[in-house]
A = this chain, B = another copy of it.
């Protein structure tokens, strides 16, 4: 059994705050502060340029990739860390399209995170008007997978509602129709068990600052299935993805396997924080995590529905169809979330009317859920959100 008391103790959780936004930015692992300080003072400070070899900086993207790989069911040696998720979406999508050269349609759904769609638009602006980004409602994705589709670009867990696609079933249908799959694991990695190899996924990408707790601006990751790894062309073909970066050849030659998905110089300080954050996962069983995630989420839903009649569940009621977040709709959701934050329960808001709550078993306990429900119930009952201050919108991530 996973020791969640130990994992909770590994995080710095501000006194009195109930943090239900680990699906946006995970909290600080206590060991990350020392790990980053060491990287700055000793590695950068004392080793300077020699740190790339002496301190293992150059190998970190692959080493951290493997640590993440274990959490998403990837074969060892097939995940690498770097860039941002948007950049990795672009790389995966460009590579996937090249593997299916006679088709022109990218299929996604309207529940996908917009940046994935924007990056697809940008890619199409380069590839030309023959290409099409086709959007359907999330429930219609399965039916829309036909032999006209080149690539599916699907986020497994919906960033607003928490609705979870069936990765294995959709991938099987895609393959039966000659379609290449790109799975975005932004709200999956570290949130639910993922089995990329078992589902025979082709490409996957994700970020590390949400459930993996890598810190603000932590790098993304990319997975390429072993069967594609030496054929997939990265499009963003930077020198660190070259077969021999330090030969400084004038022409590009893609590196072996996943290494070709590296682009430029990796962010060493961010990787140091991520390194510490991933250590917390060493003894975590993802099935235990899932059980606990469902316990926390179900308790929250029951509590809110019992005490907040103005809030409507926006997530699937069936736990098996959700990721590790729960969302409620409320017309004045922005103001209500501001009020809740002022009462030290941190969730977030997604336009137009979604109040979003992440349930992250590494550091949340049932008592946190009960307190969050209690504070939310009071805000709703007493209309504490109904002030000009809370209604005035500012950009939040």
Contacts and interface: CB of A to CB of B under 8 A. Distances in A.
Interface of A: 12, 14, 17, 19, 21, 24-25, 27-28, 32-33, 36-37, 40-41, 43-46, 48-53, 57-58, 83-87, 90, 94, 98, 110, 113-115, 117-119, 121-123, 125-128, 135, 207, 209, 215-220, 233-240, 242, 245-252, 263-271, 273, 341, 346, 348, 350-351, 394-397
Query: How often does this chain occur in the complex, in copies?
Result: 2
Contacts of A273: 40, 269
A239 B114 contact: yes
Contacts of A264: 83-87, 115, 220
Contacts of A28: 40-41, 44-45, 48
A236 B90 contact: yes
A133 to B, nearest CB: 10
B44 A40 contact: no
A245 B263 CA distance: 25
11 contacts: A24-B49, A51-B216, A58-B397, A83-B87, A87-B87, A119-B238, A125-B233, A125-B237, A218-B267, A248-B350, A265-B397
A253 to B, nearest CB: 9
A262 B94 CA distance: 20
B250 A114 contact: yes
A217 B126 contact: no
A215 B135 contact: no
A106 to B, nearest CB: 14
Given A121-B237, A248-B351, A395-B246, A266 B53 contact: no
Nearest to A273: B269
A19 B33 contact: no
A267 B217 contact: yes
B216 A117 contact: no
A237 B28 CA distance: 30
Nearest to A247: B351
Contact of A94 (B121, B126, B237): B126
Nearest to A121: B252
Which 10 A-B residue pairings sit nearest by Cβ, starting from the closest?
A: A84-B264, A115-B239, A86-B238, A122-B237, A216-B268, A217-B267, A86-B264, A118-B252, A28-B45, A217-B268
Given A84-B264, A121-B251, A217-B270, 11 more contacts: A25-B44, A28-B41, A36-B37, A83-B84, A86-B236, A86-B264, A119-B238, A217-B267, A246-B395, A267-B269, A269-B270
Contact of A207 (B58, B216, B265, B351): B265
Contacts of A48: 14, 17, 19, 21, 25, 27-28, 346
Among A36, A44, A247, the one with the most B-chain Cβ atoms within 10 Å of its Cβ is: A44
A119 B236 contact: yes
A37 B215 CA distance: 13
A21 B47 CA distance: 12
A265 B83 CA distance: 10
Contact of A117 (B27, B49, B135, B252): B252
Nearest to A123: B126
Contact of A86 (B50, B121, B123, B239): B239
